[in-house]
Amino acid sequence: MSDPLLEVRGLRTWFETPKGTVKAVDGVDLTLERGEILGLVGESGSGKSITGFSLLGLVDPPGRVVEGDIRFLGEDLRSASPRRLRDLRGNRIAMIFQDPMMTLNPVLRIGTQMIETVRAHAKVSKAEARAKARDALCQVGIPHPDERIDAYPHEFSGGMRQRVAIAIALLHKPDLIIADEPTTALDVTIQSQILSEVQTLTREMGMGLIWISHDLGVVGQLANKVAVMYAGRIVERGTVDEVLDTPRHPYTRGLIDSLPMENDRGQPLRQIPGNAPPPLGRPEGCPFRPRCARATEACLSEPAETEAQGRGWRCFHPLEEEAMA
Amino acid sequence: MTGTAPMIEVAGVTKHFRRKTDLAERLAMRVGLAEEPPTVHALDDVSLQIAEGEVVGLVGESGCGKSTLGRVVAGMLPVTSGQVARDGKDIAKLKGAEARAMRLATQIIFQDPMSSLNPRKKVVDIIGEAPRLHGLVKRSEVRAEVERLMGLVGLDPAMANRYPHQFSGGQRQRIGIARALAVNPDFLICDESIAALDVSIQAQVINLLVRLREELSLTLLFISHDLSVVRYISDRVVIMYLGRVVETAPTDRIFDAARHPYTQALLEEIPRIDRRGHRFSSVKGEIPSPVNPPQGCHFHPRCPFAMDRCRTERPALTQASPGHSVACHLDGGTGRPLSEAGVTTGDIPAID
Ligand SMILES: Nc1ncnc2c1ncn2[C@@H]1O[C@H](COP(=O)(O)OP(=O)(O)OP(=O)(O)O)[C@@H](O)[C@H]1O
Ligand SMILES: Nc1ncnc2c1ncn2[C@@H]1O[C@H](COP(=O)(O)OP(=O)(O)O)[C@@H](O)[C@H]1O
Ligand code: SF4
Ligand code: SF4
Ligand SMILES: [Mg+2]
Ligand SMILES: [Mg+2]
């Protein structure tokens, strides 16, 4: 049996702060095969981005991966040298950040940055690199790429900047892309076009994709598998059909119920009460307890994962396995 | 107030941006070595009315000019031509106290609550600053006023002395809303104000906006790329494409009976959780740009129904039924019924 593209076991990434230890990621397991798309959803602060950063060795102090195993095609990334990680990030694994300015340099023209990327990968002339960069802009729906390639990032709208960052990631033709809420600000036709590009790359080139998003609609249409994060843990996972059609965790169910599409106009949206707990003030036991209508005394201790064949949840009182209305 | 005039009337507004040039470029241009930098046609003869008490959803592709229109309507950005009237008066001609009153009465709430809040200020100062500065409340009453506003948006007034980073994203957006409400506006422009929030928090903030709108009789311009949110919140929807309004109708009509091919393609691509393994479609070829918009109908390079006429003649915004206007040459200038074979962006052919 060949190694999975990515295998993560028991990942814990903690930040030592003066006020205490922030357990941003606290025991996360993930498996991704070639050609698979995993949707990682959850509240902000639940640890999605830090999970992504941890995989790439991009966690800055005071943060540190304190425990766990990260394997990329069998290679142990936790003990890989910084140089090896940099090499992988440049060639095999790409990250599209939530904030496109983490990819873009504000004082360089878009074209300059893209040409550099192309030439870092292939020995091509400047003119060839420019043509490739131009095509990549076209691919993500930047109009009139011949003119806009010479613009600076601030001359683009937020959505256009994000598309440029995506174009740069695609230029690497990586084996694995970790995309952190990349299309949140885009309208549906452009989003659809970008999703079409990444779908093609996963289907035809066997690229693996972790799509971090809070848009359940997109995840439902795009992904094969879903993992729902809450307070540093994956609280529910399974295939898209399993998780979205028969959610077992009350938080997943609450997320689905609060979608505007699932509500009648003129009625208040069904909302999950309260906020996600602050990282240093997580309640004892199940972290969802203060917001959960099903909570009982049992929930004062921490629920372990109930798991069978890749389908799992962490809850003492899971919802019945009945199809949603 | 004239009574009959709409609260906001945007009449034939055009807004151009020029890319800034550096010294080397300007020298090169002077000696004829470089061309003038391109002009961005962000808004191209846009007309729009917003009635008092209405919630208008403004939808369109990234870069089509939504934020520009929002800032023009708020008087934050001068127009290139055309005019914006507030309660029947051209806002460009307002002076002194009247101009100030107009600015206060219109408030924008932005997408990113963190970058629009000063991290070094306490919440009490962030929310209380404008009313104090403009003399809307006595210095001694600022604190009580801030506490009232915090309660109004569902924040615990006991947290007034904290800094923005000590709040969650949804709470920060509530701070942004409280700050906007502090100067008693009657018109709020929400520019992607909930896009950065989590689904569960989005629902809370949408519910808050709907409640505030009723309690304070607010008028809202709700800019969003999320059609499902716009459908839920708006009375009327305006669809923009490349600097122009292409369709406007009451919300139900947009979703049940859209007539512009672009609107129809948008509806087809709304993410829905009951649709799985969707094959996303891609737009082949180049998307036209606001730097060099196509002749005629701006949508023609992507439109599966484009005719010769569409390539040369701009379709005027034409009434298809009361309250429903469309800019498309089909069917006598009113577009096509949604019931006919669906459009998807995949049908949109390549151009070269
Ligand atoms: N200061 C500026 N200088 C040059 N061009 C600009 C400037 N501000 C905006 N533009 C251009 O004007 C057009 C419209 O921009 P605008 O910000 O209104 O788009 P938008 O519809 O709000 O997009 P998004 O959904 O991505 O926020 C874009 O092509 C943008 O690049
Ligand atoms: N530099 C840091 N120092 C301390 N805590 C941090 C730091 N960066 C992130 N965190 C915390 O880690 C948790 C997870 O963050 P993140 O992965 O960014 O969440 P998500 O992407 O799900 O919104 C949050 O509680 C956040 O406050
Ligand atoms: S374990 Fe208890 S509190 Fe946690 S989600 Fe399940 S029922 Fe709710
Ligand atoms: S005017 Fe022509 S090109 Fe434009 S939307 Fe209508 S049919 Fe299509
Ligand atoms: Mg994040
Ligand atoms: Mg905008």
Note the pLDDT of residue B61: 79
Q: Which long-range contacts (CB under 8 A, 24 or more apart) does B3-6 make?
A: B5/B85, B5/B87, B5/B88, B6/B49, B6/B50, B6/B51, B6/B52
Q: Indicate whether A180 belongs to any domain.
A: yes
Least confident stretch, A89-93, B181-185, B244-248: A89-93
CA distance A137 to B309: 30
Q: What local confidence, expressed as pLDDT, does residue B258 receive?
A: 95
For residue A303, pLDDT beyond 90: yes
β partners of residue A228 = A41, A236
- Residue A203 shares a structural domain with residue A65: yes
> Which of B128-137, B163-172, B325-334 shows the lowest per-residue confidence on average (mean pLDDT)?
B163-172
**Ligand located closest to B308 CA:** 4
Q: What is the pLDDT of residue B349?
A: 40
- Output the 3-class SS for B78-125: CCCEEEEEECCEEHHHCCHHHHHHHHHHEEEECCCCCCCCCCCCCHHH
Q: How many angstroms separate the alpha carbon of residue A289 from the centre of ligand 3?
A: 6
Q: What is the pLDDT of residue B348?
A: 46
Please tell me whether residues A147 and A286 are part of one structural domain: no
Which of A2-11, A261-270, B23-32, B164-173 tops mean pLDDT?
A2-11
- Do A184 and A167 lie in one domain? The reply is no
Q: Which of A145, A261, A270 sits opposite B272 (nearest CB)?
A: A261
Alpha helices in B107-260 (DSSP H): 123-133, 142-152, 169-181, 199-215, 227-233, 251-257
Per the document, the length of chain A is: 325
- Choose one of A171, A190, A214: the last residue of a domain: A171
Residues A183, A148, single domain; the answer is: no
pLDDT at B7: 95
Whether the CB of A294 sits within 6 Å of ligand 3:
yes
Confidence band of B352 (pLDDT split at 50, 70, 90): very low
Q: Check whether residue A158 and residue A203 sit in a common domain.
A: no
Instruction: Please name which ligand lies nearest the alpha carbon of B327.
Output: 4
Domain termination residue (choose one: A152, A171, A190): A171
**Residue A217 pLDDT:** 84
Cα gap A109→A149, rounded to integer Å: 7
Q: How many domains does chain A contain in total?
A: 2
Distance in Å, alpha carbon of A4 to nearest chain B alpha carbon: 22
**What confidence tens digit (pLDDT) does each residue in B7-48 have?**
999 999 999 998 666 677 677 767 766 666 778 899 999 999
**Model confidence at A110: pLDDT above 80:** yes
User: Which range (A269-283, B93-107, B304-318) has the least confidence?
Assistant: A269-283
Is residue A166 domain-shared with residue A187, that is, in the same domain?
no
Is A43 a domain residue? yes
Cβ distance A185 to B274 less than 8 Å, yes or no, reads no
The residue whose two tokens read 């598998």 is A225
CB contact under 8 A, B225 and A215: no
Q: Each residue of A280-291: pLDDT tens digit?
A: 888 899 999 999
Sheet holding B81-86, edge to edge: B39-50, B8-18, B81-86, B89-90
Out of B71-85, B131-145, B272-286, B317-331, pick the least confident.
Answer: B272-286
Are residues A37 and A222 in contact, defined by beta-carbon separation less than 8 angstroms?
Answer: yes
Mean pLDDT over residues B139-147, rounded? 92
Q: Taking residues A144-160, what's their average pLDDT?
A: 84
The highest-confidence range among A269-273, B109-113, B214-218, by mean pLDDT, is B214-218
Last residue of a domain, one of A155, A171, A187: A171
Same domain, A125 and A203: no
Q: What is the pLDDT of residue B338?
A: 80
- Residue from B305, B307, B290 nearest B19 by CA: B290
Least-confidence region, from A89-93, B282-286, B296-300: B282-286
Domain boundaries, chain B: 255-352
Tokens 């800034």 -> residue:
B20
- Token reading at B139: 């210095």
Q: Which helix (H) or strand (E) holds A237?
A: strand A233-239
Judged by CB atoms closer than 8 Å, whether chains meet at B280 and A199 is answered as yes
**Residue-level pLDDT at A36:** 94
pLDDT for B20: 67
Q: How far is the CA of B228 from the centre of ligand 4 (A)?
A: 25
- Shared domain for A182 and A195, answered yes or no, is yes
Q: What's the pTM? A: 0.80
Residue B21: what pLDDT?
67
Distances (CA, A) of B88 to B7, B51, B83, B98, B235: 7, 11, 11, 13, 22
Paired tokens of A313 = 């949840």
For B272, which of A189, A217, A269 is closest by C-beta distance? A217
Residue A161 lies in a domain: yes
Residue A254 pLDDT exceeds 50:
yes
CA B62 – ligand 1 centroid, Å: 8
Whole-angstrom distance, CA of residue B170 vs CA of residue B176? 10
Nearest-Cα residue of chain B relative to residue A190: B61
Nearest residue in chain A measured CA to CA from B35: A147
Residue A201's SS3 state is helix
DSSP code of B149?
H
Average pLDDT, chain A: 88
Put residue A78 in one of left, alpha, beta given phi > 0 → left and psi -120 to 50 → alpha: alpha
CA distances from A247 to A42, A256, A288, A311, B1 (A): 14, 9, 15, 11, 54
With bands split at pLDDT 50, 70 and 90, how would you rate the model's confidence at B343?
Answer: low
The minimum CA-CA distance between A256 and chain B, rounded to whole Å, is 8
End-to-end CA distance of chain A: 41
| Strand ranges across the sheet with B106-109 | B106-109, B187-191, B219-223, B55-60, B236-241, B244-250, B324-326, B318-321
Q: Residue A140 falls within a domain, yes or no?
A: yes
Q: Which residue has the tokens 């709907």?
A: B210
The two tokens of residue B16 are: 């151009």
Strand order in the sheet with A225-230: A93-96, A176-180, A208-212, A37-42, A225-230, A233-239, A311-313, A306-308
Tell me: do A143 and A183 sit in the same domain.
no
Span A85-97, pLDDT tens digits = 988 987 899 888 8
CATH of the domain at A221: 3.40.50.300
Q: What is the mean pLDDT of chain B?
A: 86
Instruction: Choose among B225, B280, B292: nearest Cβ to A196.
Output: B280
The CA distance from B104 to B142, in Å, is: 17
Q: Which of B156, B174, B198 to mutate to test the interface with A (most CBs of A within 10 A)?
A: B198
Of B196, B199, B266, the CB nearest to A216: B199
pLDDT in tens, A218-243: 898 889 999 999 999 999 999 999 99
A22: containing domain: 6-92+176-323
Kindly state whether residue A1 falls inside one of the protein's structural domains: no
- The minimum CA-CA distance between B98 and chain A, rounded to whole Å, is 32
Instruction: Determine whether the interchain pair B271/A193 forms a contact, defined as Cβ–Cβ distance below 8 Å.
Output: no
| Contact at CB, A255 and B196, closer than 8 angstroms | no
